[in-house]
Amino acid sequence: MNKTNLIAAALLAAFAAGAPVQALAAGPDLKVALIAGKTGMLEAYAKETETGFMMGLEYLTGGKMEINGRKLKVIVKDDQSKPDLGRTLLAEAYGDDKVDIAVGTSSSGSAIAMLPVALEYKKVLIVEPAVADAITGDKWNRYIFRTSRSSMQDGLAAASTLKGGSVAFLAQDYAFGRDAIKAGKDALKATGSKAVVVHEEYAPQTTSDFTASAQRIFAALKDKPQPRVLGIVWAGPNPMNKIADMHPERYGIALAPGGNILPVLKTWKSYPGIEGTIYYYYAFPKNKMNDWLVSEHTKRYKAPPDMFTAGGFAAASAVVSALAKAGSGDSEKLIAAMEGLEFDTPKGKMKFRKEDHQALQSMYHFRIKKDQKNEWDLLELVREIPASELPLPVKNKR
């Protein structure tokens, strides 16, 4: 029997057994690695990312966990937010596990350590949720894409709400905080704001008493032109309520916190009217995908999805869209498919910019609600800030 007859016989046997022809045509499993800091200081962020990622794959594949007839396998690894471990686990994922694409990680330090590994193995890495500008800036390479927002996008969103006056910043004294404040200052210039930065305050990550920091900030701001704004950028338990308890309003100072996860936002309930900007809040986006995420997450976990849940979902959408468009896990085909790729997320559409592979996306200007109807009814939308109003500079050396 010749080769053609053998194929025909196999097809006839498949029909006789009731097996779908697609199963014969399907290739090997598609493998994705998800690396997150599941233990350590960013454990809460990592848990949300993993939940959102898996829910995203479920939604986007109709629960089949297949793309173009090929099974999708997810391998989850915990880098403990340690750069050396993140680098090792990504090499293991590409080399030993033979994944087609990887997603990660929670810590910017670990994510930056992983970037050269993607280049070494010539494999795509989607960064989520790390925000350091260097990831799509001077540390970038062509295998790196990012669905999470960058520090500069955070800064541009905040800057869009400040037209003038005087600004002070409070941040943690490590890479994330300093990167964020640099981005905030650059963003004020980029948006044409006339606001002047009069003070930068950096406190240790373990700080619990902010009295000295607040006194320095108040002294720097109290006699400066109005409006006087204190921008707070802090990962983890946020000091905003402690600063608010020192009554900055007596000096005409308004607080402007950056967005945070829901357990932190709940601690701000006693300060209605305070405004800030955020990457995602479950009640803001109005689209079918977000409706499903909010409904299903609330049903399964008795709480609405958080900002890193939405981020994990967005990364899943990028993975599915890229693999479906490329038709394989080949890195060159993936890069060609992903540059300029638009994909739906719970926030709405995102687009990977061709120049640096950063996902362009909307941000949100919020106000803490005065009338809160339930435990999670925390923020009201002042305005969605479209990507077109966030003049994100290209900072890589492509």
Note the CATH number of domain 23-149+286-361.
3.40.50.2300
**pLDDT confidence of residue 26:** 60
| Cβ burial, residue 316 (10 Å; 0-12/13-18/19+) | buried
Buried b (16+ CB within 10 A) or exposed e, 366-398: bebeeeeeeebebbbeeeebebeebebeebbee
Tokens 């409006």 label which residue?
A: 227
**pLDDT confidence of residue 23:** 39
Distance between CA atoms of residues 19 and 289, nearest Å? 32
Domain range list for the chain = 23-149+286-361, 152-278+364-389
CB 208 within 8 A of CB 237: no
Tokens 């006087």 label which residue?
A: 228
- Per-residue pLDDT of the chain (398 residues), as tens digits, is 454 444 444 444 444 444 443 333 467 999 999 999 999 889 999 999 999 999 999 999 999 999 999 999 999 999 999 999 999 999 999 999 999 999 999 999 999 999 999 999 999 999 999 999 999 999 999 999 999 999 999 999 999 999 899 999 999 998 888 988 999 999 999 999 999 999 999 999 889 999 999 999 999 999 999 999 999 988 877 788 899 999 999 999 999 998 899 999 998 988 999 999 999 999 999 999 999 999 999 999 999 999 999 999 999 999 999 999 999 999 999 999 999 999 999 999 999 999 999 999 999 999 999 999 999 999 999 999 999 999 999 999 87
Please choose, from the candidates 376, 43, 19, 105, the residue with its C-alpha nearest in 3D space to the C-alpha of residue 235: 43
| CA 285 vs CA 19, 57, 226, 267, 278: distances in Å | 42, 20, 32, 23, 12
**pLDDT confidence of residue 80:** 97
pTM of the model: 0.89
**pLDDT confidence of residue 349:** 98
**pLDDT confidence of residue 179:** 87
**pLDDT confidence of residue 62:** 97
Structure tokens at 304: 């609405």
**pLDDT confidence of residue 9:** 47
CB 195 within 8 A of CB 167: yes
**pLDDT confidence of residue 234:** 85
152-278+364-389 shares the fold of 23-149+286-361: yes
Architecture (CATH level 2) of domain 152-278+364-389: 3-Layer(aba) Sandwich (3.40)
